[in-house]
Amino acid sequence: MDLDPQLYEGLPDPVRKAWERSLTSGRAAMSRRRLLRLGSLAMGGAALAACGIPPAEGSRGGNDPEDTPDHSKKERVLNFANWPLYIDVDDKNKKKRPTLDRFERQHGIKVKYVEDINDNNEFYGKIKPQLAAGQDTGRDLVCLTDWMAGRLIRQGWAQRLDPARMPNAVANVEDRFRTAAQDPGRQYSYPWAGIACVVAYNKKATGGKKVTSVSQLLEDESLKGKVSMLTEMTDTVGMTMLDLGIDPEKFDGDDFDRAIARIQKAVDRKQLRRFSGNDYIDELSSGDIAACLAWAGDVVQLKLDNPDIEFAIPESGYRFATDDLLVPAKARHRANAEELINYYYDPKVAAELTAWVNYICPVSGAKAEMEKIDKDLAEDPLIFPDAKTAARGKAFRPMSDKEQARYENKFAKLIGA
């Protein structure tokens, strides 16, 4: 699948190719709700990283609430753009979204909910012309992976949120989510869900052996030819860095090269079967892949379908990211968007949402509510990590445009893209 040239005009070739990988086989193809259970494929966010955090000079574009007139009082509507299959639906009537329907009734706000985010970069290409021109994108609330949310914030294309309108969010966002590299202090965004990259394995295919580290994926002879890693650079390189004792939040060029060299050795000795996108799910389930890097939301669902599937959070740590809600510059209904953010930070509502999407819940108090819905999910460390587990999650540090191009080029050569 080729990208519309307008979406990547002026970008270095390796970055463009990374976008294309995301659209066809990377986290842009990650299932939001297990496709084996629903019979449909959802698209998820790419895992590249953004540039710096401070808004670019001369491009405020609605940074402050007073920059953009808000029409929420007169216009009780909200245009909400999200990823496919990233909200709860009624099992009997797929057109109904219980938590969102209740929000409309309780708050008198009609929500136009559209699932038109299939890839962070692709979506950015859709809204960039309007944002650059200082125009309304037609969307009041969007859900973007943290690095892309940071990009909009840096460029001055996100509206500052009013904490006075979001008491639930301010009070209930879990401590680990209260600040982020892309948005210190959470002035512009709040997490919809957390995403973790872990190690998964099929215990039948491994002969009962536990696979708990990246070292085993790269070096265990018994797994030779039955291992896959991800086509997403930040996940594969980030997890390898952690195994090497390198902090992906603070790495330099030499650290990056060490991680690439280690993976290259595994490639050269044919330890790895291949680099994959979301299609590792079916290969892991069938046993064609014995062990791999995997996205936690997929693993939670896959375990329901296959009792042979297990996961491990390596002692060295795991890759962590968030999908964040923010209000684009010039959006007409910021206050309505803030009402919705506040609503989903009610622990009961958050638990209902999480019971369906199965990603890390960022809302304090939701675990207690989840126990009333599904005790197994409430105890699942991939959905509600305890403090020790949460502390082991590491982001991939923001990169400059030049760094991103250089690193993506090296990674593309490694995986043969």
Summarize pLDDT for 248-260 with one digit per residue, the tens: 999 999 999 999 9
Looking at residue 405, its pLDDT comes to: 80
Whether the predicted pLDDT of 58 surpasses 70: no
- The pLDDT confidence band at residue 397, using thresholds 50, 70 and 90, is confident
Q: How many domains is the chain partitioned into structurally?
A: 2
Shared domain for 205 and 313, answered yes or no, is: yes
Does the pLDDT of residue 50 top 80, yes or no?
A: no
Q: Are residues 244 and 270 in the same domain?
A: yes
**Residues 283 and 303 placed together within one structural domain of the fold:** yes
What is the pLDDT at residue 3? 45
Cα separation of 197 and 380, whole Å?
15
Per-position b or e across 127-161, b if 16+ CB within 10 A of its CB: bbebbeeeebbbbbbbbbbbbbbbbbbbbbbbbbb
Q: Tell me: do 84 and 133 sit in the same domain.
A: yes
Q: Are residues 184 and 252 in the same domain?
A: no
Q: Does residue 77 sit in the same domain as residue 154?
A: yes
Same domain, 292 and 409: yes
Which CATH number is 168's domain given?
Answer: 3.40.190.10
Model confidence pLDDT, tens digit, residues 64-113: 444 789 999 999 999 999 988 889 999 888 789 999 999 999 999 999 99
* Interval 334-358: pLDDT, tens: 999 999 999 999 999 999 999 998 8
* pLDDT classification of 417: cutoffs 50, 70, 90: low
Beta-strand pair 141-145/110-114: unpaired
More confident residue, 183 or 277: 183
Picking from 144, 122, 176, the residue whose alpha carbon sits closest to that of residue 328 is 144
**Separation CA 363–CA 355 (nearest Å):** 13
In a domain, 356, yes or no: no
272 occurs within a structural domain: yes
pLDDT of 45? 32
> Is 286 a member of any domain?
yes
Is 380 inside any structural domain?
no
Task: Provide the pLDDT for residue 49.
Answer: 30
227 and 339 in a single domain? The answer is: no
Residue 375's pLDDT is what? 95
Q: Are residues 133 and 99 in the same domain?
A: yes
What is the percentage of the chain residues whose pLDDT exceeds 90? 63
pLDDT at 145: 84
Most confident listed range (46-50, 56-60, 153-157): 153-157
Say yes or no: 203 and 338 in one domain. Answer: no
* 285 and 402 inside one domain: yes
Do 163 and 264 belong to one domain?
no
Whether residue 23 lies inside any domain: the answer is no
Examine the pLDDT at 25 and tell me if it is beyond 90: no
Q: What angle do CA 53, 57, 61 make, to 5 degrees?
A: 85
Query: Crossing angle of helices 347-357/334-344, nearest 10°?
Result: 80
Q: What is the mean pLDDT of the chain?
A: 85
Cα 57 to Cα 50: distance, rounded to the nearest angstrom: 17
Per the structure, the complete domain to which residue 163 belongs is given by 69-188+327-345
Query: How high is the pLDDT of residue 43?
Result: 29
